[in-house]
Amino acid sequence: MGNAVHRNLVKLYGYCFEDNMKALVYEYMENGSLDKILYENNHGSIELVKLYAIVIDTANGIKYLHHELEEQIIHHDIKAANVLLDKNNSAKITDFGLARIMNRDVSRVDLTGPRGTQGYTAPEAWMPGSQVTFKCDVYSFGMMLFEVLGKRKNGRAENWFPGLVWNQFENGNLEHFLKDCGIAEKDKENANILCKVALWCVQDNPNLRPSMENVALILNKKELVNDPPCPSLNFRQYSSMVDLEESRRENIER
């Protein structure tokens, strides 16, 4: 990990490994972690245009880990809490405690147990005896994008924000939905890109997920993003549940 140096990775300056003190010494990041900005009461102070730039920084950091080192690094815990912001709100990825280093001639690695954070972890990483690729980081990145869009945790059950985004996208109501989420007209293009990229990233099938190279190109508007298919059965079931609930409410109002 000491050889991984990139402007979007937190710098490791040193470590202490004494009997009474074990510590890693990282650079100081003045504005803390992204989750604090998204979830706490100061989240309204940062506009989507800046969040979009933070997303690009994060994508560039993951792309470096996956594609630009002699050995590939899978982070295994991409989430808002592990994206730190400096005094200019430039983003850097931290917390490599679960990272896995792979030789370039190895495309898949065996898992000895689940890694990552619930709600961000790719479905294949929860299967006993499964093998994973760098696409598990892509899935986690997609889940983080939903939280950036909603400026909130994704939630569960009826409050599951990714499923709600898919439902509105599938029914052609995404533009109105984004407006209800507080997305300004000037940010509409960026919000649409984030929605589609997120839906591609969280596909159940790892082969359908884009690489972080492709994600970075799309976010930088150097490539167009196509409409995604339904990511998984969970998204389909959630969408059906939302449709039934809306239909029930309309019948009551009548």
Closest CA to 228 of 189, 183, 187, 170: 170
Looking at residue 5, the DSSP 8-state letter turns out to be -
Give the domain CATH number at 218.
Answer: 1.10.510.10
Cβ atoms within 10 Å, residue 183: 20
**pTM above threshold 0.75:** yes
pLDDT number for residue 106: 47
Q: Residue 6 falls within a domain, yes or no? A: no
pLDDT number for residue 246: 63
Q: Residue 5 falls within a domain, yes or no? A: no
List the domain range (segments joined by +) for residue 24. Answer: 12-253
pLDDT number for residue 15: 84
Catalytic residues: 77
Q: Residue 3 falls within a domain, yes or no? A: no
pLDDT number for residue 5: 85
Cβ atoms within 10 Å, residue 70: 7
pLDDT number for residue 12: 84
Q: Give mean pLDDT in consecutive 10-residue pieces for the chain, a chain of 254 residues.
A: 84 87 88 90 74 98 93 92 95 83 56 70 80 91 95 82 94 89 92 97 96 98 96 89 69 57
Q: Residue 7 falls within a domain, yes or no? A: no
pLDDT number for residue 251: 57
Please state, in angstroms and as integers, the Cα–Cα distance from residue 167 to each residue in 28, 129, 174, 183, 200, following that order. Answer: 41, 33, 9, 18, 15
Q: Residue 217 falls within a domain, yes or no? A: yes
Q: How many domains does the chain have?
A: 1
Q: Residue 4 falls within a domain, yes or no? A: no
CA dihedral 127, 131, 133, 137 (to 10 degrees): 20
SS3 24: strand
User: Phi, psi at residue 31, to the nearest 5°?
Assistant: -100, 15
Q: Residue 44 falls within a domain, yes or no? A: yes
Q: Residue 1 falls within a domain, yes or no? A: no
pLDDT number for residue 127: 75
